[in-house]
Amino acid sequence: MIITEEAKLRILCEAVSSVEEGEEIGTQLLKELTESKNGIGLAANQIGINKRVCVINVKEPLVLINPRIVEHSEEQFMFPEGCLSFPGKHVRTGRHVSVVVETDNHEGKLSFSAESENINDAFECACVQHEIDHLDGITMFDRSVIAQPHRAPAKIGRNERVTITDGKETKELKWKKAQPLVESGDWEMATV
């Protein structure tokens, strides 16, 4: 049974105390994922277990026990996502182009990157970020990108209202306030 109540998905998951406990949860998750038919990832709190275990199955089934993102690119890519907890809903999210993940059940670090010819790499990279977010009570809607960044037009009136985005958050304000943010490079002009 996959949880679809948002309030339950907002609960922060706790670390598992052993790899064995994590593996048991991982087995249940992979079973649910297989039964879902169209799912490529699942987090323990989506089946009512508030523990830090998730699975992804894009290129191969991967159980992640107490996963941590230890490095990520600043650069983001946009990705159309769905979620087994929100059937029929889709959002365009902003995700890091690459992430490095540490877990308790894999030796060394796991690297995921969307910079490849293979679309499955992008799926896997977005999926691992989506599932780890679940463990922090974050859903894909929190990562939604509604604006498409583009270059600032050559000339804008100081009091003209513009919309800017940093890839996660979008705000509308007067150009004289927005200009320093856009010039800092952290924000870009947006069309909504």
- Please say which residue, 16 or 143, places its beta carbon nearer to Zn ion: 143
Closest contact distance (angstroms) between CB of 82 and Zn ion is 8
Q: How far apart are CA 29 and CA 44, in angstroms?
A: 7
Q: Provide the annotated active-site residues.
A: 131
Does 56 help bind Zn ion (rule: CB under 5 A)? Answer: no
Does 9 help bind Zn ion (rule: CB under 5 A)? Answer: no
Nearest to 73 by CA among 172, 184, 167: 167
Interface residue with Zn ion, options 56, 83, 101, 126 (CB under 5 A): 83
The encoded tokens of residue 66 equal: 């107490």
- Please say which residue, 88 or 185, places its beta carbon nearer to Zn ion: 88
Closest contact distance (angstroms) between CB of 112 and Zn ion is 16
Does 91 help bind Zn ion (rule: CB under 5 A)? Answer: no
Residue count, binding to Zn ion (CB under 5 A): 1
Contact 8, 138 (CB under 8 A): no
* Helix/strand/coil for 34: helix
What residues between 147 and 166 interact with Zn ion by CB under 5 A? none
Closest contact distance (angstroms) between CB of 187 and Zn ion is 28
Distances 123 to 44, 81, 97, 112, 129 between C-alpha atoms, Å: 20, 9, 11, 10, 10
